[in-house]
Every structure is written in C-alpha cells, then in structure tokens.
Structure 1
Amino acid sequence: MPSLSVLVTVLTLLPFVCLSFSPESPTHRRLLVLLDDHSLQSSHSIFFHSLISRGYDLDFKLAEDPKISLQRYGQYLYDGLVLFSPSAHSFGGALDVQSVLDFVDAGHDLILTADASASDLIRSIAKQCGVNFDEDSSALVIDHTNYAVLETQGDHTLIASDDFIQSDVILGKKKLEAPVLFKGIAHSLSASNSLVLKVLSASPSAYSANPNARLSHPPSLTGSAISLVSVLQARNNARVLISGSTDMFSNELFRSAVQKVGNSNKFEKSGNEQFVTELSKWIFHERGHLKAVNVRHNKVGENNEPAIYRINDDLDTHIEIYEWSGKSWEPYVANDVQVQFFMMSPFVLKTLETDQKGQYHTSFKVPDVYGVFQFKVDYHRLGYTSLSLSKQIPVRPFRHNEYERFIPTAFPYYGASFTTMVGFFIFSIVFMYHK
C-alpha cells in the first residue's frame, strides 16, 4: 500500500497534470518564470499581466531557488519556461542546461532573454538553440544612425528598430507602426540550424562593440547580420524565443515615447508592448497552431475505407485542418496543402482543394504499380506548426480473371494471328489441289 505522503503528493500534482498543454485544447497553461531578482516582477509587470489576462498561471521563482523542479514522477509540472535570469551562473534544484533542452525536446516552449551580464549558462542554452551571442561580454549593439531620442538626449545603445519579419502569423495582422526599443547584446544565427529565424534585425549601420572603449579591431558582428530577437520552431513544434535584451520587456520601454534621430515622426508609445505581446502569443501556440483530423480515403462512389486498392482504381482522399485561434478551433484555409501517394518516392503529388471550411479533398487514379503505398501529408509553412501525417495502404495487381477478354491494344496481333491461319489454309488447298 502506498504511504500517506505519496498519496498526498500525487493528489497535489494531479490538477497540474490535468491542466497541462494538450494539442487538442491548448488552454490553462502553467509557466515557470525564473528571475535574477524579484524586482523584475514589478519592473516587467505589464508583460506578466498580459500573460495572466490570457489565462496563464505564472509561477515566479528566483533562478537559484533550490526547490526548482520542472518535472516530478515523470510528469512535467509546467508547459512553458520563461528565463528572465541573464546573469544566473547556475540554476537551483535539479535544473541545468540539459534539463532545459530536454524540456524543449519534450515539446514545451521557452522564452530566454539576455543582456550585457549574460552568463555562460544562458549563452550555452542559446547556442544549443542555434543562436550565438557576441563573445565579447562587454559589447552592446551600437547604432549611430538608428538610435532613439529620449527627451533631449540620444542614447546610441538604445536602438529603435523597425526591421521586422514579414509574417502575420508570427507578429499578428495589425501592423507595427512604432519602432521597437532595444538595449542589449547582439547575436547571430548558426548556419547549421535552418529552423531559427530573425524576428527583429539591426540596421546596416549597427555594430557590436564596447561603448566605453575605442575600437581597436573591427567588430565581429555588424549590420543586418545582427539579430536582436530570434525565434525557433523545433521539428516537434516546440517554440523558442531568444532576445538579447531583458529591458525590451520592461514597463519603462513599453511606455516610452520614441523618435528616431533625424526622423520627424514621434510616437507617443514604443512598439515594444505590441511586439512582445503578439510574439508571445505565437510562442505559446495561441496562433499558428494547426491540427489535422478525419484523414480518410475511399474509392470513387464509395464511402467506406478499403483495406486494399487495385492498380488503376479511382480514389478520393479527404482531410480536415483547423487552426487554434486562442479560444477555439477555426477552419484553416490555404491553397498549398498537398498529398503524396508515396512508395520510396512520390508516384502522385496533388494539391488539395478546399471548401473554405477546413475540409480538403482531391481525386486521382492509383498508378499502374503494385506494392505498399502511403497517403502522405507533409505540410510546412512559415509560422505554422508542421503537419506530418501518413496512412499505409497496399495496392495489388489485377487478378487473372479481372483482365478484359480482348484487350483493344492487342487487336493488331489478333488480326495477324487470324490472317496467318487463313493464309495457311488457302496455301494448303492450293498446294494439294493445284495441277
């Protein structure tokens, strides 16, 4: 019999397990927020309150808290991790770099921020996600052309950037008018990782260097090669946001008026709040999250799914695709969803037609090749979770009694055979009776 303490622990964890993220109903999510200092909870309260207002349950802890644990009894206690602890040299409890990576590998989401005090721990996590921060720990992003003017003074390390990724799925349909204020360190994307994307880039005049020292050698990162904010969508559809600035999420920069040097346009409020809020919606799967259901196929004119097809059969294939809107599943409408009839390589590749209500279908003829085939939908589109579905079905040749009695294409051979027989008969008569 289990002890009373074990039963109490299991009953305590049960609500958290039941409320964990599910692709079928991505709601009621729990986030662990690790802070360098509790003061960040108040200085970044607008961002945290936006998450709470959208139904997230935030658990705030200091990064060195010895009671930190992402999982217990094989179950993850949280659905997302927010690391606002750039200077942490180690995490408390059983949390380490590998634990964070395993958390992402299990399909969970991560927000990681850094600044000039970024530790090797934070840099290591970012590197494993395809992002390389500037190795110079004293370097900041500097831009003498696109910096922000606050009141009467300009700070060349306070970048005003409006070089956003062109994706309504990631940043929302409402256009960002005001530039985003950024004060932090630069990073570049790993050439070996094709899954990581720039969301906010520096201008061609930016560079990474120590603002308090004279340049003795060319900067290692310059121009548009500098990424300020990047995102990663892993192959398991886990999403990661990496920012070189923790201040970008602060109340101060959310509320700051912004004006670029040399630009007469002055905005009463920076674009930080809209940018961060919309980006967090994408990171936590409130947008761009797809699911496919009711994948089926059948012969034309029939409704039941057969166990086997015959070569040259005419068939229909159907699939329903929906997108999570943040509150409910809505029909996903696109004109680039394709199905493959696949054996070693695609024998048939067709674009599915949609009825604008989330249902996709197409018809085609089974190729004149028998073997084991797959109906395969492998859908990848910028900003959306990938869909990878397959259904296996064998294809057989004609049975001996299913062939046509007389094949039209063989009529010339039939004619030749009968002509030969008739000719031989005539020749025999002539040969025997001719004098």
Structure 2
Amino acid sequence: MAKVSIFKAVITLLLPLVCLSFSPEEPTDRRILVLVDDFSLKSSHSIFFNSLRSRGFLLDIKLAEDPALSLQRYGQYLYDALVLFSPSTDRFGGSLDLAAVLDFVDSGHDLIIAVDASASDLIKNIATECGVDFDEDPSTVVVDHGSYAVSESDGDHTLIVSNDFIRSDVMLGETEIQAPVLFEGIAHSLNAENSLVLKVLSASPSAYSADPSSKLSSPPTLIGSAISLVSVVQARNNARIMVTGSLAMFSNRLFRSGVQKAGSPNKYPKSGNEQFVTELSKWVFHERGHLKAVNVTHHKVGETDEPLSYRINDDLDFSVEIYEWSGKSWEPYVANDVQVQFYMMSPYVLKSLSTDQKGLYHASFKVPDVYGVFQFKVEYHKLGYTSISLSKQIPVRPFRHNEYERFITTAFPYYGASFTTMAGFFIFSFVYLYQK
C-alpha cells in the first residue's frame, strides 16, 4: 500500500508537467532550460525571465557546468526549448555537449543563443552549426561612430543604436517598435550557404567589428550592413533559433535605459529592447506563426463521400483547413497564396485555394486526361511561418469500355471512312462481277 501511495504521489506531481509539455495541439514551448555562467543573471536579467514566466513558461535556470545537466531521460526530452546565456562556457556539465544541443534542435526544439566578447569556441561552434559565424578575433566588438548612444561616457562607441528591423509582423508583432534597440556585443555574419538564416536586426553602414582599445592595423573583416546583430533560423523541421552577439541586450539595464542616437534630436525615455526581445521570443517559442493543416477532403462535384479513385476528366472539389496558434488558441489563418497541386512526377494541376476567412481553403478543378497514381499536395512556405507539407494519394483511371458514348463525335471522320470503304468495295465488286 505504501508503494502504491508513493506511485500516486509521483504521478500527481508529474501530471501538470506532462500537460504543459510541447504538443501539436498546444505547440507553445512550456519547459525551458536556461543555462548561465553565473546566477547573478537571475537578477540582472530578471525582467526578461519574469516576462517568460508571466506568459506561462516554466523556467529551469542552471549553471552551464552543472554536473547533473541532461536534456533527456529514457529517450524523452525533459525540455521544449534551450536558452544559452552562458557565453564563456568552454564545456557543459553532465551529458550536455555540442552534439546533444544539435540533436535537440534536430528533434524540433527551439534555441536562443546570446553571447558577448567572452564567447567561447563551444558556443561559437554551436552558432556556426546554425548558420551564423561570429568574428574569429576574440578581442573585437561592434563599433559604430555614427549610430551610438549619446549617453555613452567612455567614448569608444561600443554601445550602439539600431532600428534596422526585419519587416515581418509575424516575427516582431503588428505593433511597430518605435524606440531603437541598444546593442553592446560582438558581430556575426550569415553563412551564405544557409538559406534558412535571416537578419532580424542589422547594423548601420557606419558600423564595423574591431578592438576599440587598439588602432586599426588592417581593414575590419566585418563592416556595415554585412554585420548582423540579431539573426534567426527556422529549420526545415520547424525548429526555431535566435542568435545574438549581445547578452546585455536582454539585461534590465538596457531594458530601462533611455535612448538618444548621436546626431538625432529624438530622445526616447525607454529603449525598444524589451518590446523587441519580447516579441521576437514569442515567435521563437511558437506563440506566433505556427500553422497546422487539418481535415483534408476531396470528392466529386455534387457528392460528399471521398471516392476510392477518380476517372479522367472528372470534376472534383478539394478543401483543407489551416489554423494559426495565437499562444492560447487556434485561430483561422487567412492568406491568398495557398495552392494545391495535383501531382504525378510533376504537377498536372496547380490551383490557388480560395478561403472563407474562417480557416477553410477550397478549390475545384477537372482531373487531367492522364491516368495513374496522383497526389493532392499542399506545400506552403512563408517567411516567419511554420511550413506546411501534406499529401494525399489517389488513383486516376481511364474510361471503362462501357463508359464511352455509343458514337463519339470526334470519331465521325473514321465512321465515314469505314462506310465509304465498304460502299466502294460493294460498287467495285458489282461492277467487276456483272460487266460484259
């Protein structure tokens, strides 16, 4: 009896965690592992952490060198997302390493990487695998003598100001970020061979990556708009990654700091850091831009049941429902660029789907005059949204022998030729037999 009671108690404690875990029906990440170099980040970055908790996330903040670190147990992942606020860590504790982090992302989980000038090779290697390359020189930071905060007192212009945001409501929200973002950290560039990585916040044309404490002996390796301050990746498995060279960007100090760009009369009482980070984290953790397609149906025009096969030249109706996760519930997704393919080796029909503004997409078309095994395919890829890839197989057959018309109009010339041949043969035979 004691063992049964203990088992029930364990189930009672674990049940809320299971219910809050990542699932297709509620895709928002709930369990987040945050790795830090020092527990002082709990207080220095408390506004960011509290904003996550207020949105229902369960944060587990641990030291990056904790010997008990593990992302999974008995083949099941313990967390839905990973936040690396440990730039100087040379080696993770426990069973966590570079391969474990990459496997975590490959399994569809999300990742945030924030570094600073102390970034270790381990953290840089993780970023490189995600399509982002940090400046190799460990002494360099982003310097901008044109777009720096006027409140900076040291004069090295490493606290820079940027409002060169990506134009995407799904990533940054529909409310425009009025105040610019304060950035203090190192530069990175995008791997040209990776088509999935995007700049979210770019540096100004006057920025460059260098050591501010020494004179430039050679041209900087990264300059101007080639410098990315914040980048994101949406993998093909819909895992989302955010990479930034500024851990300070998440700090209470820069959240609360006023902003005035050098040479600009506009002064903002509060930076745009909090709004920018909050909105972008909503996208990273699937609170926005997460789509699902359900109820794929097709049938002949005038019927309701799905057939086992179609006949060439049949008229059919196709429909699918698409919804977007709002962070709390599924809402109808409305767009005019969703298409369906009727596919066999190549698309024989490519049709844009109409929407009823309530999530239902539909189209009608005629089955091509080609028989074989076809597929209904919906491949939807849009910036900032999870990809939709679905297919449904259906055979297409030709007419049976008893399904053709008795006399086919297009065959009249052949009918005429046949009867003309018979009439000619009869006349020839008559003349030949009865001529004198």
Does the aligned pair in 1 maintain the 2:115–2:245 contact within 8 Å? yes
Alignment correspondent of 2:166: 165
How far the C-alpha of 1:12 sits from its partner, in A, is 5.8
Alignment correspondent of 1:386: 387
Alignment correspondent of 1:283: 284
Cα distance in 1 for partners of 2:332, 2:27 equals 16
How far the C-alpha of 1:155 sits from its partner, in A, is 5.0
Alignment correspondent of 2:137: 136
Cα distance in 1 for partners of 2:101, 2:360 equals 38
How far the C-alpha of 1:127 sits from its partner, in A, is 0.4
Does the aligned pair in 1 maintain the 2:28–2:285 contact within 8 Å? no
Cα distance in 2 for partners of 1:191, 1:152 equals 37
| 1:16 aligns to 2:17 (yes or no) | yes
- Quickly say closer, same or farther: Cα 1:152–1:91, change in 2 above 3 A: closer
Cα distance in 2 for partners of 1:6, 1:347 equals 58
SS of 2:61 mapped into structure 1: strand
Cα distance in 1 for partners of 2:326, 2:286 equals 9
Cα distance in 2 for partners of 1:56, 1:335 equals 34
| 1:86 aligns to 2:97 (yes or no) | no
Alignment-mate amino acid for residue 314 of structure 2: D
Alignment correspondent of 1:414: 415
How far the C-alpha of 1:136 sits from its partner, in A, is 0.4
Greater shift in the superposed pair: 177-186 or 389-398: 389-398
| TM-score normalised according to structure 2 size | 0.95
Does the aligned pair in 1 maintain the 2:148–2:157 contact within 8 Å? yes
Structure 1 gaps, min length 5: none
Does the aligned pair in 2 maintain the 1:180–1:270 contact within 8 Å? yes
| 1:327-373 deviation per Cα after TM superposition (whole angstroms, max 9, x unaligned) | 11100000000111111111111111101110000011111111111
Alignment correspondent of 1:196: 197
Matches for 1:316-355 after TM superposition, within 5 Å: 316-355=317-356
Cα distance in 1 for partners of 2:211, 2:40 equals 27
Cα distance in 2 for partners of 1:353, 1:27 equals 29
Alignment-mate amino acid for residue 227 of structure 2: I
Greater shift in the superposed pair: 400-409 or 351-360: 400-409
Does the aligned pair in 2 maintain the 1:86–1:119 contact within 8 Å? yes
Alignment correspondent of 1:69: 70
Does the aligned pair in 2 maintain the 1:149–1:260 contact within 8 Å? yes
Does the aligned pair in 1 maintain the 2:28–2:286 contact within 8 Å? no
Alignment-mate amino acid for residue 356 of structure 1: Q
Alignment-mate amino acid for residue 47 of structure 1: F
Alignment-mate amino acid for residue 73 of structure 1: Y
| 1:269-311 deviation per Cα after TM superposition (whole angstroms, max 9, x unaligned) | 1110000000000000000000000011111111111111111
How far the C-alpha of 1:412 sits from its partner, in A, is 1.0
Q: Percent identity of the aligned residues?
A: 75
Alignment-mate amino acid for residue 390 of structure 1: S
Cα distance in 2 for partners of 1:7, 1:90 equals 38
Matches for 1:142-161 after TM superposition, within 5 Å: 142-150=143-151, 156-161=157-162
Cα distance in 2 for partners of 1:314, 1:43 equals 64
Matches for 1:221-300 after TM superposition, within 5 Å: 221-300=222-301
Cα distance in 2 for partners of 1:216, 1:222 equals 15
SS of 1:278 mapped into structure 2: helix
Matches for 1:363-382 after TM superposition, within 5 Å: 363-382=364-383
Cα distance in 2 for partners of 1:341, 1:366 equals 8
The total of aligned residue pairs comes to 434
Does the aligned pair in 1 maintain the 2:29–2:285 contact within 8 Å? no
SS of 1:148 mapped into structure 2: coil
| TM-score normalised according to structure 1 size | 0.96
Matches for 1:116-135 after TM superposition, within 5 Å: 116-135=117-136
How far the C-alpha of 1:421 sits from its partner, in A, is 2.1
Cα distance in 2 for partners of 1:181, 1:431 equals 107
How far the C-alpha of 1:87 sits from its partner, in A, is 0.6
Does the aligned pair in 1 maintain the 2:149–2:260 contact within 8 Å? yes
- Quickly say closer, same or farther: Cα 1:274–1:9, change in 2 above 3 A: same
| 1:380-430 deviation per Cα after TM superposition (whole angstroms, max 9, x unaligned) | 000000000011111112222222221111101111221222233334444
Does the aligned pair in 2 maintain the 1:104–1:110 contact within 8 Å? yes
Does the aligned pair in 2 maintain the 1:89–1:120 contact within 8 Å? yes
How far the C-alpha of 1:151 sits from its partner, in A, is 7.0
Matches for 1:197-212 after TM superposition, within 5 Å: 197-212=198-213
| 1:5-29 deviation per Cα after TM superposition (whole angstroms, max 9, x unaligned) | 9998787655434421012113571
SS of 1:415 mapped into structure 2: helix
Does the aligned pair in 2 maintain the 1:312–1:367 contact within 8 Å? yes
Does the aligned pair in 2 maintain the 1:201–1:227 contact within 8 Å? yes
How far the C-alpha of 1:325 sits from its partner, in A, is 0.8
Does the aligned pair in 2 maintain the 1:17–1:76 contact within 8 Å? no
SS of 1:277 mapped into structure 2: helix
